[in-house]
Amino acid sequence: MTFGKELNENHSIEMIHRFLDSGGNFIDTADVYVGGESEKIVGKAIKERRSEVVLATKVRMRVGPHPNDFGYSRRRIIEGVEQSLKRLNTDYIDLYQLHVWDNLTPIEETIRTLDDLVTSGKVRYIGCSNFLAWQMMKALSYSDFNNLVRFISVQPQYSLINREMDREVLPLCKEENVGVVPWAPLGGGFLSGKYRSGNVPTSGRLANGVGESSWEYRANNRNFNILREIESISSEIDKTPAQIALNWLINKEEITSPIFGATSMEQFEENIGCIGWNLSSEQWNRLDDISRLPSEYPTRFIEKFKR
């Protein structure tokens, strides 16, 4: 999301190449990021290194003023793939994701269209993002019953301060063997350690964000308690709060890989420093305990009858 916005084209390409040179291979974008500029920049960056990349993009959000410029109709998906392929300067997309549920288009139409795209070779695999558990299961069941392509991944918001997916989505993914690639693994920057209670930011993503990404949404007592625990562990080991939050996520059983965005090369280097080491079991559990959601029905009721 930062490519072509917080980072200009040259710096974005430099960052992508640094990522690939460091052994990374998964790059995630979307057709609506910076009005398509993000896809164009990614396409330029990987032109000579396409075989090294697992390339992911998304469809669903509005890309124009007309009724067929959003959603998951057969027409929109086919147009969306062709447009993304052109911007990405490639002839196939490794992972094509549904950006958020579309209540206007039957999931049957959407899945059959995606199956045709996989059969054609333009798409290798499909995934979803920001889906509820029942929405995912409805799609998976339709795919399985009809021997059609099924979701191999979901991209939800998930971090130490956003663990709502623990209730339904993560158990479903574990049961159905669906990968989890969380967005906002640092809570929109909240877990970077640069924010303090009572000090409202005047610049940056949290200062300018709305809804999920706003300071009003992030700045609560629970989240600051979690941040203080991260900073306590940071003082015990030679790692930054951001690296600690990412390392916790990497080592959570259901998580395949977090997706982080960086607005500078310094931030990129800090975030990529979350690999190559592990929190101790005691440190990992401290973070898990303080961020765990309260027990809810029916989960707490079902737990009593587990054998």
- What are the structure tokens assigned to 33, written together? 């990021």
33, 72, 158, 217: the active-site residue? 33
Nearest CA to 259 out of 24, 49, 62, 101 is that of 24
The answer to whether the beta carbons of residues 159 and 249 sit under 8 Å apart is yes
- Give Cα separations from 302 to 174, 279, 298 (angstroms): 18, 31, 6
Ordered strands of the 54-59 beta sheet: 26-28, 54-59, 93-98, 123-129, 151-155, 179-180
What does 64-89 look like in DSSP terms, one character per residue?
Answer: SSSTTSSS--HHHHHHHHHHHHHHHT
If phi over 0 gives left and psi between -120 and 50 gives alpha, with beta otherwise, what is residue 31? alpha
Rounded CA-CA distance 165/156 in Å is 8
> Residue type at 67?
P
Largest Cα–Cα separation, the chain: 57
3-state helix, strand, coil in the chain (%, to 5): 50, 10, 40
Task: Look up 158 and say whether it is catalytic.
Answer: no
Gap between the terminal Cα atoms of the chain: 45
Q: Which residues contact 156 (CB under 8 A, 6 or more apart)?
A: 129, 130, 131, 165, 169, 180, 182, 183
Q: What SS3 class is residue 239?
A: coil
Q: Which residues have a catalytic role annotated? A: 33
